[in-house]
Structure 1
Amino acid sequence: MTYAELGISALLLVVVLGEAVRATASRLRRIRRARVSDRRPVQKNHGTHSAPRDYRTDAPANSKGLRLAMERSHAKREQRRREKREFQAWLEITSEPLW
């Protein structure tokens, strides 16, 4: 076999295996969905904790550090919002013709 024939056969093998894996995954998804259809779907709250946290129960040193981190985070967010408002105002001013 020449290198070209080897390359073509390798490419065919990859394509066939890819299709087989895709078909198997699709079948498994259908089976799993049918098996758990009687159960309530799992609720996912992305970006939230499963239970509310009370940060005030920590030690005083930890709460100081946490409070400082939260204040810095809020300050950064407020700074970004302020810059965005200023930029929008600048865009409105510069978009109007002078004459």
Structure 2
Amino acid sequence: MNHFKFFVYQFVLTSAFLAGNYYFDEYISKPFDRDDLLATSIFAFLIILIFNVMNRLYARLIPIHLINKILLSILAFIFAALSIGLLTGELIF
């Protein structure tokens, strides 16, 4: 159960990062101006907020071996990329 919780936490974290990157990317463009700074600061605030919540959740978990963490993180990233790709319409089967 501990490994499943870690996988779900990693999935949520990477999904939030990928979705935020997808939606805030259109506001950040070549001539860096006030709107770009605002979008970057909002995105950074959201990522910091998500990391703080996730760190509190990780503290409750029983320690997991490093190799298991790496494998679960890679698997969570793949599933997050597929799910965000399907939800945004960027990935079509």
TM over 0.5, shorter chain = no
Q: Which has the higher helix share?
A: 2
Higher relative contact order (CA 8 A, sep 6+): 2
Q: Could you say which structure has the larger radius of gyration?
A: 1
TM-score bucket of the superposed structures, by smaller chain = 0.3 to 0.5
